[in-house]
Chain A
Amino acid sequence: MLRSRVVIAIAAVAIAIVLQTTVFGSGRIEPFGVAPALVTLVVIAVAPYVEDEVTILLGFTGGILMDLIGSGTLGLWAMSLTVVAFIASRISGRYADSVVRSLLAAFVLTLVGQLVYVILGTLFGQETAGEPNVVSKIVLPAMWNVILAYPVFWLMRVVFRPRDRSFVP
């Protein structure tokens, strides 16, 4: 049971990465020039349905895959999404059963993930904090994730069909 959930969670993150780099890639669906942070959203949405340790490992795995596909320094997204996953694992019980709290969690945790990446990117010499439009690159993905949160959370509920904890859209 646990193994199948882990496999589904990893598959969800992998699909999110493919969609992030194609459908939401450059020149595609990028409202105001910035795309949603789909991988972050999937990690947040999966958290209520798997063990805390699995959530954290999922965040790290998703992040390292993003690092490997992207052009930035290896490990930065891994650390950022691990932080997001850690917080999500701590509070998933509080947002799992409420639509409003789920949307709020999607917004705040995405914001945290983007912000941590900017700080780490600056520390590791990528000049991310000095980029033009850095504020919109932090805030807009969080806003788009709020819009996408409802269908993504619903999808995770359908896929995992939890018995003990439920998210009812």
Chain B
Amino acid sequence: MNRVTILFLALVSLGFIIATFDVRSDGDGVANVLREGTQSVFTPFQKGVDWVTTPVVGFVDGVSNLAGLRDENDRLAERVRELEAEVRATDALEEQVTQLELINGLEVAGELATVTARLYSGGVSPFDNARFIDKGASDGIVVGQAVVDEDGLVGRVDLVSANDARIRLITDPLVSVGVRVQSTNETGIVSGRGDGPLRLEMFRANEAVYVGDLVVTDGSRFPPGLVVGTIAETADAEVGFVLRSSVEPAANLSEVDYVKVIVGFTPVDVSLEESTTESVTSTTASTTSSTTTTVQGDS
């Protein structure tokens, strides 16, 4: 065996040891420190290149999609008309619900503080479901918070540095979200499959789910009522069996440029894991005054 082969085998073995160590430590500890350090080195370069290339890339993207723009425009105009009608109907219903809640002494739907952030870096490969945003701990962001765009849930924060954070998309196989099917009010869990529709599993379902049924968060890890997507496959409920279906994500995850991180809701798992979370979250209002907006939630 020559020197090159020995070096090759040694490095593959080292990679294997690192991978095993990372899996065993569940991505925490030294690995996390190394990830944060590496990202902090690359961030200025990534932001610089992103700033320089965004107009060019946008132009290339626009030219390549020119043919479909007219059809897309017509379709969107039609969709806007439909949504305007829905909004008028929803406004009336919302008013009714508010009045009923007040009458019954219930808490009126709250508004959750959010921080608007821009994605500046994508994944390193097609198998990578991480994205980086230009807001971090100094803006009140902590690990576990929900990330949304105008269409629905995008993912969760899984790594935070002072001025940046990494989000893991809901399509990541390691992300699971507690959900409720709005039409049946029954709960389940959706998990990513790396790409495309999400996997839905409902362990105590008594009613069938149908294509197009809205799926929202159930409030366990993320604020309740955030749109996750719609049922993509009709599935019947059978006693003693898990109802399995798939959910088409509402957010167009390949086209996300800006997101909102919901900083006004402390995730259950984070509050258990991190004793400092509460104090960080409680200072959110003061540290994010320039960028904080609100999003409707029913917490």
Q: Which residues of A approach B to under 8 Å, CB–CB?
A: 14, 17-30, 33-35, 37, 39, 52-53, 56-57, 60, 63-66, 68-79, 82-83, 86, 89, 117-118, 120-121, 124-128, 130-134, 137, 140-141
**What distance in Å separates the Cβ of B200 from its nearest Cβ neighbour in chain A?**
15
Alpha-carbon distance A134/B132, docked complex (angstroms): 23
Known A29-B57, A131-B194, A133-B196; judge A71-B12 contact (CB<8 A). no
18 residue pairs of the A-B complex, CB under 8 angstroms, read: A18-B45, A25-B121, A25-B131, A26-B122, A26-B254, A28-B53, A53-B7, A68-B35, A70-B128, A71-B168, A76-B15, A78-B11, A78-B18, A79-B16, A82-B12, A131-B193, A137-B195, A141-B126
Q: A65-B38, A72-B128 are in contact. List 13 more A-B contacts (CB 8 A).
A: A25-B121, A27-B255, A27-B257, A34-B126, A53-B7, A60-B11, A71-B172, A74-B34, A76-B19, A77-B124, A79-B15, A128-B127, A132-B197
B23 at the interface (CB under 8 A from A): yes
A69 and B124 contact, CB distance less than 8 A: yes
Residues in B whose Cβ lies below 8 Å from that of A128? 127, 194
Contact check: which of A57, A74, A83 meets B18 at CB < 8 Å?
Answer: A74
A70 and B124 contact, CB distance less than 8 A: yes
Contact check: which of A22, A53, A79, A140 meets B46 at CB < 8 Å?
Answer: A22
Interface SS majority for chain A:
helix
Alpha-carbon distance A56/B173, docked complex (angstroms): 31
A133 and B195 contact, CB distance less than 8 A: yes
Bits for B147-173, please: 1 = Cβ < 8 Å to A, else 0. Answer: 000000000001000000010100011
B39 at the interface (CB under 8 A from A): yes
Residues in B whose Cβ lies below 8 Å from that of A141? 125-126
A69 and B42 contact, CB distance less than 8 A: yes
Contact check: which of A20, A37, A79, A125 meets B12 at CB < 8 Å?
Answer: A79
Alpha-carbon distance A83/B12, docked complex (angstroms): 8
Residues in A whose Cβ lies below 8 Å from that of B257? 27
**What distance in Å separates the Cβ of B59 from its nearest Cβ neighbour in chain A?**
11
A74 and B12 contact, CB distance less than 8 A: no
B66 at the interface (CB under 8 A from A): no
Known A22-B121, A26-B253; judge A126-B22 contact (CB<8 A). no
Bits for B92-124, please: 1 = Cβ < 8 Å to A, else 0. Answer: 000000000000000000000000000111111
A23 and B49 contact, CB distance less than 8 A: yes
Known A18-B49, A53-B3; judge A68-B130 contact (CB<8 A). no
B129 and A21 contact, CB distance less than 8 A: no
B298 at the interface (CB under 8 A from A): no
Residues in A whose Cβ lies below 8 Å from that of B15? 60, 63-64, 75-76, 78-79, 82
